[in-house]
Structure 1
Amino acid sequence: MYRNLMRTAVSGAALMVGLAMARPASAIPAFAAQTGLPCAACHIGFPQLTPFGRIFKMEGYVLGDKNYPSIENFSAMTQAGFTHLKDKVPGGLSPDFPSNNAWSIQQTGLFFGGVLDKRIGLGAFVQGTFDGVAHQFHWDNLDIRLAQQTNLFGKPLVYGFTFNNAPGITDLWNTLPAWGYPFIPSALGVGSTAGLQIAGLAQSVAGVGGYAALNVTPADLIYAEADFYAPLPNHTAYALGVGPSVGIASPAYYMRQAVQHSVGENSIEFGATELLDNPYPSGLSHGPTDGIVDLGVDTQLQHIEANQAFSLQAAYFHEAQHWGASYPLGNTANLNDSLNYETVTVSYLWRQLVGATVSYTNITGGADTGLYNSGTGNANGKPNTDSITTELDYYPFNRGGPKIFPWVNAKLFIEGTAYPQFNGLARNYDGNGRSASANNILFTGIWLVF
């Protein structure tokens, strides 16, 4: 994509992502003006949300003294880096890029974030991105919220409505694909042929939904959400830089449930996610459909102190695939398939300056030579892929930006990913002798926000 900055980017609260002011690390001008709070109030580094950051997002990005937007509600970011694979990719890492050892400004983003009309609880997070690899501008993350607060049976209740463009972009925890790790993957790396539908719909749909969060006790939160999505019309998709239109029969249903317990420096969340979708066979936009159901469970644990923070995220998804329309056309070898996705990520941040992350991801599923064919670099028709990622980060301006540019913040990172298995095999996975380890990647660079 970086249609999937969802995988990489600034979190939903997150234009707060630490665009530091002259005083110790504040939010971007929009949220600094609204809240006056340091970015550490909402983020562990960035983009992971703290319990307070989740409240800020849930309440519609309107916290603070401002009632209407101003020029301070706009900001920008860029991500630039150097990509090195263990073995070069014949023909180039991407069009206009060499076969290895490539520099790229892989994305530049423009944002609006914050209050639209505080009187009615209306706020927004809107992002447009220029993809420096595809050389194309497109709409990116969008979440416009109308939130209200009341009481239910004497308990505080936040409820609201959302207009957004990706299942999971509204989520409050960093466990789903929309905001999960890796936050900054290399756009020039080699990717697996298999992916979850919940991630694949990002920015290709538009949806509306409602959510509610009930504090049954001061420490215990129950959250529920339901959204409905339709594909963008083809001309709209092209106009927004994400064409052609994704071939699904609307509506697609997204549901989310979670419970969170917070006490002192600790919080823990357990959640479940469901996506029900009916895509058309590849290349079609009408007629019989297939059926895809994504079912997921997840958990997040956080321990946050003034000088250090620890977090753990884990998620498991099972995708059931019924190819009722694609199988008769010969597009798949099986009438029914399944895909399993699991990931565990552990991260640590010291004094808001230095961070470390280790993450493991495993994708498994049955063989289908029609679905995963040799033309996509998959000779045995299996999606099975394992990856282990280690990342080190340095935040030079988290304690205050330079005097000439006080609202800037940055993350300097070095990220390494190893593949024990790729597209079903450790060796010769593509039928041309390439090993999984050939895709091992070193990616280093800067994430700059201002």
Structure 2
Amino acid sequence: MTRPLRVAIVGAGPAGVYAADILTKSETPVEIDLLDRMPAPYGLIRYGVAPDHPRIKGIINALQRVMEKPEIRFLGHVEYGVDVKLEDLQRHYDAVIFSTGADQDRPLDIPGIDLPHSYGAAEFVYWYDGYPEAPRDWTLDGEQVAVIGAGNVALDVARVLAKQADDLLSTEIPDNVHRGLKDSKVTDVHLFARRGPAQAKFTPLELRELDHQNEVEIIVHPEGFEMDEASEKEAQTNNQVKTIVKTLQDWALRDPKHDTKRRLHLHFLRAPVEVTGTDRVEGFKVEVMELTGDGNVRGTGEYETYPVQQVYRAVGYLSSPVADLPFDTKSGTVPNAGGRVLDLDGEHIPGVYTTGWIKRGPVGLIGHTKGDALETINNLLEDLDALPKPEQPTSDSIIELLEERGVSYTTWEGWTRLDAHEKSLGEPHGRERIKVVPREDMVKISRAE
């Protein structure tokens, strides 16, 4: 091939950026366009990570270095399936990689889960992260709140619900989020985990952050804090589990404070059964579980009901179907073999690949995405000779198409303009930045309109 390999990556979150980085480090000359439906890059780092996570936000610095490579071009505010279709991308690129992530809440099939004031975790995360398509207002009018789940997202939701609003002023939270949290009536946040402490899915770092909050007492309820033979073995052989269990044990044994404004309760071996209420959430019913000796659990037939006024389910994310591609609704993934997208007959669709959560499901930490991207890129490079030849492989041709269709796309230069604008909003208040929320404002600032 006398020209560089042209690759479109749909989704400019960590998965897409890591894939682009690996491609640029290969021996094959490349030109990469990272397309994203948002006017700004970084995906879940910008819109899925709690604002009080500066260490995780630091990943942006590494992603930025990749995005600044001359082989990579960012095209934001371009919605795949609306502004461009698969056939459009195949006409302009040798290969297309989908890294669209997971943007929906996994459903929880229990009675009452759809009552008013029962939410998916993603809804709340999008609100406090200033996602352009999320509601601007969020009512926190109940004193008692339930969070279902034992992963990092559940801890994020519980921590933000319990946190004092002013403690977030050093972060990039939008002003409307600060006002909403400032008006919160919450006094008690109850987190419910179906299994025991040794089976929790959150990380030690996330767990310990719960205890770094002003005016919040962490209460580990002893009933349900059980360890069976498998749990003890896991705690002895797995340092992460050992740290989690010891941290929880230390919290359970310390003296209560009694004088904090809010309390965050951790309940283990409590499985969701029903959200109760008539016109809105009024209670949350759980079944008491017991360990079976092998790390699994079973119901005891005993039930408890907690008087809560809101419920947040954090039982996992789910990817949305991708236009023009097959989709496995059960796993929430695009069928693939090592990142090669498969058609309904199980055959590889030439030149079409996937990586990240849309490839493997919403599991693992951000760092796991690197290995995932490496597999996909290795297979793409292995297929070089078999890739279909695009009709219009010049770098200008996709720009001409977007302009012809009236798409107000944004660029990397536009992002640096928006980035500087957000930082300037925060500077008078001693904050790193204040995030611009409305999509139309992001586009205008990025395009200097």
TM class by smaller structure: under 0.3
- Where is the helix percentage greater, Structure 1 or Structure 2? 2
State the structure with bigger RCO (CA 8 A, min sep 6), 1 or 2.
2
**TM-score computed with the length of structure 1 as normaliser:** 0.26
**TM-score computed with the length of structure 2 as normaliser:** 0.26
Pair member with larger Rg: 2
